[in-house]
A and B are shown apart, each in its own frame.
Chain A
Amino acid sequence: MAKEFEFFTEGGLVKYTGYTADSLRSLLIGLENVSGSAIFYHLHHALFRWHFETGGHLNDFSRWCWRQLQENLLAEKLSSVDPLSYTSIRDAREALIQHVKNHIGELESLPRVPRGREFYFTEIKSFIIPTGYIATDLQSFYNCVEKIDTYSVFYHLIESRVRTGQPTNDFSIWLRESLDQHELADQINHLSPYVYDLHELRSKILEMTRERLNGE
């Protein structure tokens, strides 16, 4: 009998860490010292907060460097730190730090933003909340995905990589291991939050699942 899939969702409470950056030096100090939860918030969680902007600068660090510090080259490089490519926050933090250090090494002087344009490092306290939706087969999976909110899509599709340490997502793991739906699992795993916003991601999952159901 297939194992059931329990859908969770997430609420987040944002907390100020006490670290603030007004230059690349203080940005580096913050990156080196803030909690993993802060790196997660500004890198991974930014994909949730700015999910409607599928191009551009998708993490808070690159956005700040671009709009406030006006270090466009560094902003591009920080944008390239794709949270979906890192299954550990430690590795993602290291990548960010290396880009900033390398960039500092190439500058003659370090720019500073005027008062009011600082970067405030914040972290997130996450509350994992049961939705009450449980899937036992492909049809009930479809029915549940129709009802869940964008927080739940983010939790299972994107955040799961950091949580499980695997370069995949909760849906694909379950579809593969419990329902033998390898092709559908791969299709879902290839969906990109850089092409679709969270609403569209959910629609695509439904579309793919419906095709599979119609084919059965």
Chain B
Amino acid sequence: MANKITLESYNRYIPTAQLDIIKTLAETLGPAKIQQINSTRMGGGVAEILQHLLPLMEELGFKIHWDIINGNPEFFNITKKFHNALHGTRAEFSREELDTFREVTADNLNVIRNDMDFHVIHDPQPVGLIDARDNTTGEWIWRCHIDLSEADNRVWGFFRQWVEKYDHAIFHLPDYAKDLLIDQMIIPPAINPFSEKNRELSNEEINEVLGRFNIDPGLPIILQVSRFDRLKDPVGVIRAYKLVRRYLDSQLILAGGGAADDPEGAQVLAEVYEEAEGVPDVHVLDLPPDSNLEINALQRAASVVLQKSLREGFGLTVTEAMWKGKPVIGGNVGGIRRQIVHRSNGMLVQSIEGTALRIREILADQRLAEHLGENARKFVQENFLLPHYLQNWLLVFHSVRNGGSNIVRL
């Protein structure tokens, strides 16, 4: 797990006093042994965050074992189907599919190390590993990174039998929490300010990206970065832009991806092109995966960033734009409304007309834009950078060890 960024590196963004809290929390835990298990070491948000988080835990003196479950393509097809069902897509599962899941889970029980202080299991794929609990002495924590608020009840019921055996479950938002008998902690995700998607960029780097996509840096940029998905309402964004154009010169960039391997995404992209037909200065960018530098540059070049979602999980794209000091206009949904305080560090909207109104307001008032952007960055700096996420994890470990009281003196 190579990583050149140390905890001290974050002193650039986080005060010394806060890094000291993290060190104190780690010292009072002692040199714990922690096993982290998920389904893949590369690709996806969970792997990405573990790649940055676990070296920091090692630096604090913990002994970390990052293990992966093994499975055949059939197993991962079934878990992908589970993933969609847990997100609300109706699906039927055969007895054979459920049996395959149980069998592969049982085959993976030997991945559990018996001498750990903590076992952290990420997401539904490995959740059944709790069946190995009797051979262990450590505490078990299930970390769910997905939105379960619309989960198919039957599918959730299938997983719930395992989740209830854990000591703690952790969700991003209370909206995702379920009716469980175990403690459910709420830990929002975080961004890494040193990643390619969030690191500081030079003007040359930004301009290179703008040049590649023929974007005029002299015209105000309205940007939305999202998959081409109806729940992100890209067609609504274009309609809002059309309203703005009556009053202000500007350009719209819709930067997304996923259309290539998602039939619905391709359909939405087609709808976007149709809506944008004949509308000047609309750039629709269908980006490949891992276009992190491009997204970074576009966000930094934007005058205003939209996330006009009709439904949203936590909304890390909002966090990223806020971190870059941009005024963000977001749909009044999900995690967006937990990050944006209307007119203080961003704007919340409910309609196309509202979106257009707020865009016009921000583009016409540079001081307002700067005020919102400045507050946005400070808010992320105080709440959603990787050291906060690390601190929350240390508090979880303390909590599991310290039991019931709501006030713990260390």
Residue ranges of A at the interface with B (Cβ–Cβ < 8 Å): 9, 11-16, 18, 35, 37, 49-50, 52-53, 56, 67-68, 116-118, 120, 122-132, 147-152
Docked pose: A123 CA to B405 CA in angstroms: 12
Known: A52-B378, A129-B25. A147 touches B17 (CB 8 A): yes
A20 CB, min distance to chain B CBs, angstroms: 8
List residues 338-365 of chain B with CB under 8 A from any CB of chain A.
Answer: 341-342, 344-345, 348
Segment of B46-54, B106-114, B133-141, B182-190 engaged in the interface with chain A: B182-190
List of B residues within 8 angstroms of A116 by Cβ = 149, 175, 311, 333-334
| A118 adjacent to B24 (CB under 8 Å) | no
Q: Which of A18, A126, A130, A152 is within 8 Å of B24, CB to CB?
A: A130
| A11 adjacent to B17 (CB under 8 Å) | no
B217, CB-defined interface residue at 8 Å: no
| A149 adjacent to B407 (CB under 8 Å) | no
Known: A15-B186, A130-B24. A122 touches B17 (CB 8 A): no
Docked pose: A131 CA to B348 CA in angstroms: 38
Known: A13-B185, A16-B174, A56-B344. A125 touches B399 (CB 8 A): yes
B72, CB-defined interface residue at 8 Å: no
| A15 adjacent to B408 (CB under 8 Å) | no
B409, CB-defined interface residue at 8 Å: yes
Residue ranges of B at the interface with A (Cβ–Cβ < 8 Å): 15-18, 20-21, 24-25, 149, 171, 173-175, 177, 179, 183-187, 311, 332-334, 337, 341-342, 344-345, 348, 375, 378-379, 382-383, 391-392, 394-396, 398-399, 405-410
List of B residues within 8 angstroms of A49 by Cβ = 383
| B344 adjacent to A52 (CB under 8 Å) | yes
CB-based nearest B residue for A197: B378
| A16 adjacent to B186 (CB under 8 Å) | yes
List of A residues within 8 angstroms of B179 by Cβ = 18
Known: A127-B410, A130-B24. A52 touches B17 (CB 8 A): no
| B407 adjacent to A126 (CB under 8 Å) | yes
Classify the interface of chain B: helix, strand, loop or mixed: mixed
| A67 adjacent to B342 (CB under 8 Å) | yes
Docked pose: A67 CA to B25 CA in angstroms: 37
List of B residues within 8 angstroms of A152 by Cβ = 17
Q: Which of A50, A117, A126, A151 is within 8 Å of B21, CB to CB?
A: A151
Q: Which of A13, A68, A118, A130 is within 8 Å of B410, CB to CB?
A: A130
Docked pose: A50 CA to B379 CA in angstroms: 9
Q: Which of B17, B344, B348, B407 is within 8 Å of A53, CB to CB?
A: B344
A-B interface pairs (CB < 8 A), number:
103
Q: Which of B24, B184, B345 is within 8 Å of A15, CB to CB?
A: B184
| B409 adjacent to A128 (CB under 8 Å) | yes
Q: Which of A122, A129, A149 is within 8 Å of B186, CB to CB?
A: A122
List of A residues within 8 angstroms of B311 by Cβ = 116
13 A-B contact pairs sorted by A residue (CB < 8 Å): A11-B391, A12-B395, A15-B184, A15-B186, A16-B174, A16-B184, A68-B332, A116-B149, A116-B175, A125-B408, A126-B407, A127-B409, A151-B21
| B17 adjacent to A131 (CB under 8 Å) | yes
List of A residues within 8 angstroms of B378 by Cβ = 52
Known: A56-B344, A130-B24, A131-B20. A120 touches B408 (CB 8 A): no
CB-based nearest A residue for B344: A53
A190 CB, min distance to chain B CBs, angstroms: 25
